[in-house]
Amino acid sequence: MSQKTVDVLVNGARGSRRRGVSECRGCKRAIYWCASVAGKPIPFDENPDPIAVHGDIETVSADLVHWRTCPKRDEFRKPRPAPPADRALYEE
């Protein structure tokens, strides 16, 4: 099985910046912020070391993403929308 990875922007690439270190509001662990390729923040349990670098993109291990390890992660998840009603029930 291959290692799961995530691509993040190198600090300063495309106007991104590492947001530094903060504390998780749920479990109180230190989290390190990086920017995804789309520019959205991603929290890590530690500052990730790149597995590979391609221009302004670093590939890092997804094992360190805080969403995967936080014991309180469910408190931060948005509820999924309800599935659409079965149209076959309403067709005549």
The answer, yes or no, to whether residue 14 has pLDDT greater than 80, is no
The answer, yes or no, to whether residue 28 has pLDDT greater than 90, is yes
Q: Could you tell me the end-to-end alpha-carbon distance of the chain, in angstroms, rounded to an integer?
A: 49
Q: Distance between CA 39 and CA 8 in Å, rounded? A: 8
Residues 39-80: pLDDT tens digits?
A: 888 899 988 888 999 888 889 999 989 988 899 988 877 777
User: What pTM does this model have?
Assistant: 0.70
DSSP label at residue 19: -
Q: Distance between CA 54 and CA 58 in Å, rounded? A: 6
Judge contact between 32 and 45, C-beta under 8 A. Answer: yes
The answer, yes or no, to whether residue 2 has pLDDT greater than 80, is no
The pLDDT value given to residue 48: 85
